[in-house]
Amino acid sequence: MNKLLPKRSLDIALAIDSSRSMAPHKKLLYAKKAAVGLALAASKIGDRVKVLAFSDFAASIVNVRVKVDKRFLRKITRIRPLNSTNVEAALKKGTEIINNRNAGGQGHIILITDGVSTSCSAFFNSKTYPSRVTSIKAAYTQAKRCRSEGISISTICIDVDEHIDRNFCLTLSRLGKGRSYFLKDPRKLPNATLQEYSKLKSSIV
């Protein structure tokens, strides 16, 4: 008798934009709620979630595999809006933390943002913000590297202030072989994140 093979687990890096523009309309608040909801759903079935925040730089915030505890909640609530939007750094850090902890699962980055990349690794050396074109190209290059390492990318874009570059988000997802979501209401972030998680689960073998 043929037995169905168990589906591979998921290693998800949820990258939350913590730039200045995420403060209005409670965008960052609902991004945090999305992180909690995703972690609760994933931990129930053994998938791994790593949350990172990115502005000028990207930093790993917390990981969850077994349960969402008080430590997880404390670290999520401490995310604060900072400066620019370095998508290149977010994708690089997401790839790093997935590869460091991957135990045979499928790697995927979910990027929550309200804008376009306005900084990149060139900032590390010059301490002055690079041009928007340079920052976007750096993000695209890093997205291609993610795919070369077997990591896919989806974007959830908050289009409240109409300054988001839809083509940028669509291109990132295309390069990352993922999906794009565009939300006019930040309150829909938790549901959109769970929708993406559900689609991921249904697509893996």
Compute the distance between CA of residue 44 and CA of residue 98 in angstroms, rounded to an integer.
19
Confidence at 5, pLDDT banded by 50, 70, 90: very low
Give me the residue spans of the domains in the chain: 10-203
Q: Which two tokens stand for residue 193?
A: 């994140």
Contact 193, 110 (CB under 8 A): yes
Contact by Cβ (8 Å): 90, 58:
yes
Domain 10-203 has CATH 2.40.110.10: no
Whether the per-residue pLDDT at 4 is higher than 60: the answer is no
Q: What is the pTM of this model?
A: 0.90
What is the rounded CA–CA span in Å between residue 116 and residue 186? 17
Per DSSP, helices labelled H in 44-156 are 70-77, 87-101, 122-126, 132-148
Phi/psi region, residue 200 (left: phi>0; alpha: psi -120 to 50; beta: rest), is alpha
pLDDT at 205: 57
Please check the confidence at residue 110 and state whether its pLDDT lies above 90: yes
In terms of Cα–Cα distance, which of 133, 119, 132 is closest to 90?
119
**What are 27-67's pLDDT values in tens digits?**
999 999 999 999 999 988 888 899 999 998 999 888 776 56
Q: Going by C-beta distance under 8 Å and a sequence separation of 6 or more, which residues neighbour residue 67?
A: 43
Q: How many helices (H) and strands (E) does the chain have?
A: 7, 6
